[in-house]
Amino acid sequence: MSVRVGLDIGGTKMHGVLLAPDGSVLAERRAGTVPGPEGVVRGAVEVVTALCAGHAPAGVGIGVPGLVDPASGSVRHAFNLGLDAEPFPLVRRVGERLRTEGVLGADRPVALENDLNASSLGAAALLDVGDDLAYLALGTGVAVGLVLEGRLRRGAHGLAGEVGHLPVRPGGAECPCGQRGCLELYASGSGLAREVEHDGPEPLAAVVFDAAARGERHAREVRDRLLDGVADVVQMLVLTLDVGAVVLGGGIARLGEPLLTGVRSRLERREGTSGFLAAAGLARRVRLAPTDVPVGAVGAALALGDH
Amino acid sequence: MSVRVGLDIGGTKMHGVLLAPDGSVLAERRAGTVPGPEGVVRGAVEVVTALCAGHAPAGVGIGVPGLVDPASGSVRHAFNLGLDAEPFPLVRRVGERLRTEGVLGADRPVALENDLNASSLGAAALLDVGDDLAYLALGTGVAVGLVLEGRLRRGAHGLAGEVGHLPVRPGGAECPCGQRGCLELYASGSGLAREVEHDGPEPLAAVVFDAAARGERHAREVRDRLLDGVADVVQMLVLTLDVGAVVLGGGIARLGEPLLTGVRSRLERREGTSGFLAAAGLARRVRLAPTDVPVGAVGAALALGDH
C-alpha cells in the first residue's frame, strides 16, 4: 500500500495531510480557501500537488461541508465554499486536473465525504477507543457524526446527526429552526455569540469559560447551559445507541480539559443518583478529539477506504 | 431453502411460527410459559415439535427477554422466565433435546436473540418500510430496537435502545431508575398503572384513551403526556439516526389508530412551526407494528440469518 492524501476544505482554509500506510502523518499543508467552484478546485489541486511531491499517492480523500453525495462525488449547499443548490462534481473536477498534471495515476480514486463524517472516521482512527463512536462537533452549529462498528451511519436520507436541533431546554429561547430551546442555542459558536458580546481575538468559548471561572454570573449561566446541553446529548447517544465513545470536537472542544471536566462532572452527578446510569457508564465514554493532528484531513484520507 | 421455526418466549406465553422460505407464516402455535429452566426448555421443545410435524426445518430462532449473548446462545436476567443472573445455555439445551427427538437435523442451527431485537427484525420484514427502522416497544417498559441498513444495532456493550430512561419531562416524577421524568413513566404499562386505578379486563391504555375521548381531565393529561413523550422520542430517533421508519409496537401500540393519530398530529404540529422538522419529515415516518402477524416470532426466525 502506498501513501494517501486527505484534504479537509473549510470555509476559510483548507488543510491537507499525506498519510503513510500505517496511518501516520508524513506531511501537512494549509492554504486559504477561495470560495466558488474554480477557487475551491484550484486550491485543492495546489495543496494536493504540494503534498505529493516525490510520491505517487494511492488516492485522494476530500472532506467538505454541505450535502455530499459520496456515490457521485458531488456536493451542494456548501454555502461557505460558495457552492450552491446545484450539485457540483468536485471529485471529477479535482480528479481530472490532478491526472492531467500527472499528480494522480489514471486508476487512482478521488473520494468525497461530508466533513463531519470525515472527522468521525479520523477520530475513530486516531483515538484508542475502538471503531464505534459518536463525534459531537461543537462548532458554528452542532451536529454528530456516527461511526458504528467501523461504518459511517449516514441515515436513510443522509440526514443523520442533526442533534443540534433537539430541544434540551423546554420553553427556552427561539431557535432559527422554528423550535425552542435547541441544543445549538447553547452549545455552538453561533449560540454563544447571541449571548455574549466580545470583539477580541480569543475564541468566544474561552472568553465565557474564563469569565465563569472568575465568578461572573451571566458567564456562569451561559457556561452551565452549554455543559448541561452537551451532557444531555451524551446521555441520549449512550442510552439510544450504546456508542463506545462520545468524542467532543469542533471549535468549542479546543477549550480542552475545562470542557471535558465540566461535561464529565455533570454526568458523574447523574450517575451518583441513578444506578442505571452508573451501570451504563456515561462519563467514562466522553473524550476530547485530538488537537495535535488534523482529524478532518486524516479522516478524509480514510474515507477512501469507505467507498 | 427450507422452512424455519421462530419462537417468541414471553413471561406468560410462548408463540411459535413456521415460516416458509418466502417469509409467509405456514402455521402458528401458542402455549403457556412455565417459568424456570426446565419449564422454558420443555415448553420451547413442545411448541417447535408441534410446528415441525412433517417438516425438516432449516433452523430454529428463539427470542427471549433479558440479556442475551447471541454468540454463546445464552441468556441471563430474564426474571419473568425464571432465569437469573447465571447465563443459561438455552440454545444448547433446546438444540440437544430437538436433535435427540429427531425434530432438528444435527447440522441445523438454533439461534437466540433478545425479544426486542427479534421484533425489530420482524417489523422490518413485515412492513413495507425498507430495512432501516427503529422499533419502539411500548410495553411494561419502554425500549427501542434498531435495524440499521438491515443489521441489528446491539451497541458497544449490548445496551443500545434504552430510551425508556431518557428524561422527557424535566422535574417530572421520580423514576425507579433514580432520574426524574423518564419516558417510561408516561409511555409504558407500568407508568400508566401508577397514574390510573383500574381492575377490569380491558387494557389500561385503552381505558385511559377512552376516558380521555370522553373528556375526563386526568385521563386527558395522562394520554397527552404519553403522546408527547412518544413524539419526543420519535423526533430524537429521526434527527439523530435518520431511521427510515419508527414503528410503534408493544402492548400499548394495540391501541392502533388513536395512538398513531395522536403521535402524528403532535409531530405535524411541530413540523408546522419548523421548516427544519418539516423537511426531516417526522410524522410520515411513524408506523404501527402489524397486529395480525406475531412480529416477535417471525423476527426470531429471521434472527437465524443474522448469526
Q: What is the reported pLDDT for A1?
A: 64
Q: Are residues B134 and B273 both part of a single domain?
A: yes
Joined grid coordinates for residue A31: 492554504
Note whether residue A125 is domain-resident.
no
Which one of A170, A178, A276 has the shortest CB-CB distance to B177? A276
Decide: helix, strand or coil at residue B189: helix
B242 and A179 within 8 Å at the Cβ level: the answer is no
Q: Are residues A140 and A36 both part of a single domain?
A: no
Q: Distance, in angstroms, between A273 CA and closest chain B CA? A: 6
Q: What is the reported pLDDT for A133?
A: 98
pLDDT at residue B8 tops 70: yes
Whole-complex ipTM: 0.94
Q: Distance, in angstroms, between A93 CA and closest chain B CA? A: 30
Note whether residue A267 is domain-resident.
yes
Q: Percent of chain A scored above 90 by pLDDT?
A: 91
Mean pLDDT taken over chain A: 95
pLDDT at residue B306 tops 60: no
Chain A interface, mutation test: which of B135, B240, B284, most A Cβ atoms within 10 Å?
B240
Residues of B in contact with A148 (CB under 8 A): 148, 153
Q: Tens digits of per-residue pLDDT, A84-102?
A: 889 999 999 999 999 999 9
Q: Would an 8 Å CB–CB cutoff place B166 in contact with chain A? A: yes
Q: Are residues A184 and A265 both part of a single domain?
A: yes
Whether the CB-CB separation of B133 and B237 falls below 8 Å is answered with no
B280 and A159 within 8 Å at the Cβ level: the answer is yes
Q: Are residues A268 and A188 both part of a single domain?
A: yes
Q: Tens digits of per-residue pLDDT, A12-46?
A: 999 999 999 999 999 999 999 999 999 999 999 99
Q: How many domains does chain B have?
A: 2
Distances from the Cα of A102 to the Cα of A20, A56, A61, A245, angstroms: 20, 9, 17, 41
Note whether residue B125 is domain-resident.
no
Instruction: Please tell me which residue of chain A has the smallest CA distance to B236.
Output: A166
Note whether residue A166 is domain-resident.
yes
Joined grid coordinates for residue B16: 411459535
Q: Tens digits of per-residue pLDDT, A101-137?
A: 999 999 999 999 999 999 999 999 999 999 999 999 9
Q: What is the reported pLDDT for B192?
A: 95
Note whether residue A81 is domain-resident.
yes
Dihedrals phi, psi of A305, to nearest 5 degrees: -80, -5
Q: Which of residues 244-303 of B touch A (CB under 8 A)?
A: 244, 270, 273-277, 280-281
Whether the CB-CB separation of A242 and A129 falls below 8 Å is answered with no
Q: Are residues B277 and B197 both part of a single domain?
A: yes
Which one of A130, A241, A273 has the shortest CB-CB distance to B153? A241
Instruction: Please tell me which residue of chain B has the smallest CA distance to A150.
Output: B156
- Alpha carbon dihedral A101, A103, A108, A110, in 10-degree steps, equals -80
Q: Would an 8 Å CB–CB cutoff place B170 in contact with chain A? A: yes
CB pairs under 8 A between A and B: 115
Residues of B in contact with A281 (CB under 8 A): 157
Q: Percent of chain A scored above 70 by pLDDT?
A: 99
Distances from the Cα of B53 to the Cα of A5, A272, B27, B104, angstroms: 62, 55, 11, 11
Q: What is the reported pLDDT for A198?
A: 87
d(CA A147, CA A154): 9
Note whether residue B10 is domain-resident.
yes
Q: What is the reported pLDDT for B1?
A: 64
pTM, entire model: 0.94
Grade residue A156 by pLDDT with cuts at 50, 70 and 90.
Answer: very high
Q: Are residues B284 and B144 both part of a single domain?
A: yes
Residue B102, Cβ density class (10 Å: 0-12 exposed, 13-18 middle, ≥19 buried)? exposed
Q: Are residues A160 and A257 both part of a single domain?
A: yes
Residues of A in contact with B277 (CB under 8 A): 165, 177-179
Question: What is the domain-level CATH number for residue A38?
Answer: 3.30.420.40
Q: Tens digits of per-residue pLDDT, A245-293?
A: 999 999 999 999 999 999 999 999 999 999 999 999 999 999 999 999 9
pLDDT at residue A306 tops 70: no
Q: Tens digits of per-residue pLDDT, B247-305?
A: 999 999 999 999 999 999 999 999 999 999 999 999 999 999 999 999 999 999 999 98
Which one of B159, B179, B280 has the shortest CB-CB distance to A242? B159
Q: Are residues B78 and B143 both part of a single domain?
A: no
pLDDT at residue B80 tops 90: no
pLDDT at residue B307 tops 60: no
Please give the distance of CA B193 from its chain centroid, rounded to a whole number.
20
A242 and B280 within 8 Å at the Cβ level: the answer is no
Q: What is the reported pLDDT for B200?
A: 86
Q: What is the extent of the structural domain holding A35?
A: 4-118+294-306
Q: Distance, in angstroms, between B130 CA and closest chain A CA? A: 9
Buried b (16+ CB within 10 A) or exposed e, A179-195: bbbbbbbbbbbebbeeb
Q: Would an 8 Å CB–CB cutoff place B106 in contact with chain A? A: no
Residues of B in contact with A276 (CB under 8 A): 165, 177-179
Q: Are residues A255 and A178 both part of a single domain?
A: yes
A165 and B236 within 8 Å at the Cβ level: the answer is no
